[in-house]
Amino acid sequence: MFELLFSIDRESHIPMYHQIYQYLRTQILSGKIDKNTKLPSVRRLAEQLNVSRNTTQVAYEQLQSEGYIRSENKKGYFVEAMILEDMLAFDTKKQSAPIEALTKPELIDFRLGTVDEENFPLKKWRMFTNKVMKDPDMYTYGEKQGDRRLRVALEDYLFQSRGVKTSAEQIMIGGSTQQLLVLVSLLLKDSVQSIAVEDPGYDVARELFSLMSFSVHPIPAKDDGIMVDQLVSADTQLVYVTPTHHFPYGGTIPVSQRVELIQWANEVGGYIIEDDYDSEFRYIHQPVPSLQSIDSTQRVIYMGTFSKALLPTIRVSYMALPEELMVKYRKTMAVFEQTASAIHQRTLATFMNEGHWYPHLRKMKALYKRKMNLLLNELTKHFGDSITIKGGNSGIFIIIEVKTDVSEEQLLEDAFEEGVVVYPCSRYYVKERPVYPHVQMGLGNLTEEEIVDGVSRLASAWL
């Protein structure tokens, strides 16, 4: 078993759990901890470092959520076997060079799906968790539809922030957006056999629909979202869209097209699945009202998540179903237990009800806006007209179109040689293929210094 040999800096402004996370992440990425190595248990690591179990638990959960380690039932935590290959081995025949490069401790990872950990309200979260653990409700399975206090808080929040017209009785809580998409698929599978998706679009949702035996129809999407005119000619009654912050381009479907989407759904008697995954973070104007807010026909299934605005490891997502589908849910889906942690749900409800949610959002929006502006400025300074930036007005990631004859794969390899990890976009396309390679960059957990350094290294790699 691997022994963790480093000391916690108790005078540092960096939280202790984050110090543990950073150290283990660096050791894994450098190859100093071999793949499949068993790590100390939460209790043993806490004893080694003289910290609380909660501190080591949070560090492990973050590493697990980012894919660096895995948890095996009744065995413990292990370094993820495929981490080196996934990060570096774009060609398995060329693994030696990336693995050598992996020893660079200053690796800068523009990973998607991360958030700024240092600004997570850890003290408040601990306090509220301790508080809710005194409630006898926390020692049962909890409500299948989700904690009612959280659903009531969501009803108010979604109406105030996104114009969503729903009730606590129509809101479902789930452990992830993917899990809720499975639930929707089961609700609709008897009446709908096909679904339209954006191309390019969220590949995980597309693959999930295929696994659920839907016939998937890719509909071209431009910078501002899906082309509704082509959807009209598709043989389907169901469409999955990301209208407020298109994934991956980052654009927003204009109001005229939103109205056309609603009209289409009403005419075919179908449904629109609206994935509103990070609408909180819009930097040049107020968030555009949700698609659901202009739907008077109950044809929009609205989805959102706390993973971007709070913390991925909380694993709390939500969905507002039209009343017609809620009737069907109550008849057929009662067999399914709740998948999101009842403790996290109640803690989150308390966090919202005691007035901490909106201040947290304002703080994170200001932080990500500053990081986004810095990233855009640095990219423009170094690359000028040799790239086109997409999606810089919202969210916590961007797409850059690199105007070059070099392949996407080679761009990623060249970036890694300079100690930078950026991500491919090819997996988001089905039929539509761009002329130039597109690369995705997340900024959630990077410091401003890392952003500046990372873009500078990209320029050294690509120019």
Average pLDDT over all residues of the chain: 87
Classified as helix, coil or strand, 441 is strand
Residue 346 corresponds to which amino acid? R
Say what percent of the chain tops pLDDT 90: 53
- For residues 226-244, one letter each, b for 16 or more C-beta atoms within 10 angstroms of the residue's C-beta and e for the rest, the string is bebeebeebebbbbbbbbb
Classified as helix, coil or strand, 236 is coil
Report the DSSP beta bridge partners of residue 240. Answer: 197, 273
* Chain position carrying tokens 């909380």: 314
Q: What is the pTM of this model?
A: 0.76
pLDDT in tens, 92-103: 333 333 433 333
Where are the domain boundaries for CATH 1.10.10.10 in the chain?
A: 16-93
What pLDDT is recorded for position 82? 54
What is the average per-residue pLDDT within 298-325? 92
Classified as helix, coil or strand, 253 is coil
CATH class of 16-93: mainly alpha
Closest CA to 461 of 395, 407, 413, 408: 413
Least confident of 85-89, 381-385, 388-392, 454-458: 85-89
H and E: helices and strands count for the chain? 16, 16
Distance CA 212, CA 195 (A): 11
The listed CATH number (3.90.800.10, 3.40.640.10, 3.30.420.40, 1.20.1250.20) that belongs to domain 124-355: 3.40.640.10
Distance CA 430, CA 268 (A): 25
pLDDT at 105 over 60: no
What is the average per-residue pLDDT within 5-26? 79
Least confident of 5-14, 153-162, 246-255, 291-300: 5-14
pLDDT in tens, 65-78: 777 888 887 788 88
Report the DSSP beta bridge partners of residue 282. Answer: 394
Where are the domain boundaries for CATH 3.40.640.10 in the chain?
A: 124-355
CATH 3.20.20.70, domain 359-462, yes or no: no
Residue 84 corresponds to which amino acid? L
